[in-house]
């Protein structure tokens, strides 16, 4: 039989990452699962080291192999490199 992989789908960050367009809040990202979904579906630029570091860190956080807050930092950095305004 195969082994079971624990996945933290319910992990959330202490502070959500809020995505803005102009003066309007368009979305709040609450944790690594939602960030990974955003990176894979809605992120305009799906290339480069910063993008892939964000994807990887979210996946590692969901597998309990890295801190969720580290994934948050990488997600914010990737957004900044893609000129996506976040708080």
What's the average model confidence in pLDDT over 22-50?
Answer: 91
Residue 34 lies inside a defined structural domain of this protein:
yes
- pLDDT at residue 10, as a whole number: 87
Residue 70 lies inside a defined structural domain of this protein:
yes
Q: How many domains does the chain have?
A: 1
- pLDDT at residue 7, as a whole number: 78
Residue 57 lies inside a defined structural domain of this protein:
yes
d(CA 33, CA 18): 15
Residue 40 lies inside a defined structural domain of this protein:
yes
Residue 23 lies inside a defined structural domain of this protein:
no
- pLDDT at residue 6, as a whole number: 77
- Burial status of residue 35 (CB atoms within 10 A of its CB: 0-12, 13-18, 19 or more): buried
Instruction: Categorize the per-residue pLDDT at 39 as very low, low, confident or very high, splitting at 50, 70 and 90.
Output: very high
Prediction pTM value: 0.88
Report yes or no: 19 and 79 within 8 Å, Cβ to Cβ. Answer: yes
Residue 54 phi, psi (nearest 5): -65, -45
Residue 17 lies inside a defined structural domain of this protein:
no
């Amino acid at each position: 039989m195969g082994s079971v992989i624990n996945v933290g789908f319910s992990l959330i960050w202490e502070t959500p990452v809020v995505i803005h367009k102009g003066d309007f809040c368009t979305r709040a990202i609450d944790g690594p699962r939602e960030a990974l979904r955003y990176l894979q579906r809605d992120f305009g630029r799906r290339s480069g080291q910063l993008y892939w570091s964000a994807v990887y860190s979210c996946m590692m956080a969901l597998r309990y192999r890295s801190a969720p807050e580290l994934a948050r930092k990488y997600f914010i950095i990737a957004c900044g490199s893609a000129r996506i305004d976040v708080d």
